Structure 1
Amino acid sequence: MDLQNCPKCDSLYVKNKFRDVCEKCWKEEEQAYDLVSKFMRKRENRAATILQVVEATGVSEDLILKFIKAGKFQLTQFPNFGYPCDKCGSIIREGRLCVSCASSLKADLKTVEYEEQRKKELAKRATFFTHRD
């Protein structure tokens, strides 16, 4: 059992893998989700951006992003929905990193891997001499 303080209201609750807030705040989040969901179900609102949804519903951008990351919205149905890349903040629709940041990270990993391999090869070729009288 993992007791924690709710990050929203600071009340004590039992944290589990399904909820990261207390029961009261979770219910508030579910009401906010219902509000956003009803708004987005209307055909004329499906192309809305997150900022337009914030203005129309009053639900915070952070909470809407939380819903998107949790998979509560199918992004294929909402072409202007996305969330920020964990590294640079550009808007993405899948994963945690944009293509540019992912490519950069892969290149950095290849460089480190190459350098470590090179160090191992140099260590194998090293010759050690001892002095004997």
Structure 2
Amino acid sequence: MSRLNQVNNCPKCGALFVKALRSLCNACYKEQEDCYDRVSRFMRKKHNRMATIQEVHEKTEVSLELIQQFVREGRILVSQFPNLAYPCESCGQLIQQGRICGSCKTQITGGLEKIDREKEFKNQLKKNESEQNRTYRSISFDRD
């Protein structure tokens, strides 16, 4: 059996289904698409374009997580709906793309760069130490 056609349990309802292109069973996928249609119809109305995710959730009764998923996937474009934002997975600051905000990304990359610099420094110390151990020195005694 190929990797694409595996029997799995739907993560949402637990039903068995053949996982081909989607990670949800057909019933849950249809329900998700119905939710997307509700959100999309709501957002297409001119007076709703400045709505926040919380307002969209309250008016459409679609879960916040699902609306955030639609934004993350690019199915709802934040360029057209500037008030749609969701929390950073690290600090909770509202963002419009990706999984983490710019400051958390900077903090993470800064930490990784620091670790790399520390490894490089330790490697350089080891290299210098091994070079010193290979160097022979002669001691000369001046005899009077």
> Structure 1 residues 80-89 or 57-66, which shifts more?
80-89
How many matched pairs? 128
* Structure 1 counterpart of 2:7, from 3, 7, 20: 3
1:95 maps to what in 2?
98
Taking structure 2 as the reference length, the TM-score comes to 0.83
Q: Deviations over 1:19-76 (max 9, x none)?
A: 2211001001111111110000000000001111111111111111111111111110
1:2 Cα deviation from its structure 2 partner? 2.2
Q: Partners in 2 of 1:95 and 1:55 — Cα distance?
A: 24
CA–CA distance in 1 between the matches of 2:121 and 2:12?
Answer: 50
Across the aligned residues of Structure 1 and Structure 2, the Cα RMSD in angstroms comes to: 1.5
Equivalent in the alignment of 1:61: 64
Query: What is the letter of the counterpart of residue 2 of structure 1?
Result: Q
Taking every aligned residue pair, what percent have the same amino acid on both sides?
Answer: 44
Q: Give the alignment partner of residue 30 of structure 2, picking from 14, 18, 27.
A: 27
Moved >2 Å (runs of 4+): none
Residue 82 of structure 1 and its aligned partner are, at CA, apart by 1.6
Runs of 5+ unmatched residues, structure 2: 135-144
Structure exhibiting the larger radius of gyration computed from Cα positions: 2
